[in-house]
Structure 1
């Protein structure tokens, strides 16, 4: 494992994993970045490319938490596609310079940034108090649009891992064991998507 990032390994990092201040109120689990995620990426020699936060850019800092159905609108999808173009531009340069290992680190449970399990609540509307939601296999709207842009531009599809910070029963210690295993095995794991 390399001590510094060489550029041949790149991690597309969900914005809130490097900046918990972007989360909606009550959802930040760390005072700043999620240090264990960043430390493990550095240990494995990944250059970190922090992605934009589509929710904050679209709805601001005073937004409420939402499920996938609330994000799944034409306007939000257009917004995500525009942001995804800038991520793809940077990735295109990295691939041209020899990037050979690309990972995407998302936030499972999110209706926007999930890569493995997303939160849904078809009956949600208005202020999200006393609303039931469930976790289902699937990706969030932002990740769906990002992957579509990468495919349209012929860029490599990243191996994906979801830090399940928004799922019931989450523990950082267990998540980091799984994350380390994901990187060790080249992405084959319970929270990994190829």
Structure 2
């Protein structure tokens, strides 16, 4: 942990990906949110857990890669076990650190702001996450597991969307939503 703290003190920016796959290390969460000099990419479960206590620029991605921290594109830290630093971590230097920085940028461009209200498509962030996963072919159960909710909640959201868009089948809803979401 001391190495991470030293990297954080010396860097001008940090990019962090946090995922709840395999649990969330509270020490990692505290470290990741201890600065204002970076960006934080979260899965929906972590975003709900984190709430407003962060000071970094935040986006939410339905299925980010495993946890990583990238410091100034010069160093990258990857926990050895899912998102638990207690097991150990790999410290990567350039050119590998730059590669992980590029991966972060790709995920960041696909992520959404964490607001709960509707976006430009008229979908709330929760609806948009559900729609994105369903359009990729995920089942209700898979969507529920990934977003930390019940399958029943997913079905209820889909039913509300079907009513809003005037469709009677999931296939018709999929066509409508594909048009709306681009």
Bin the TM-score by the shorter chain: under 0.3
Structure label with greater radius of gyration = 2
TM normalised by structure 1 equals 0.22
After TM superposition, the score normalised by the length of structure 2 is 0.23
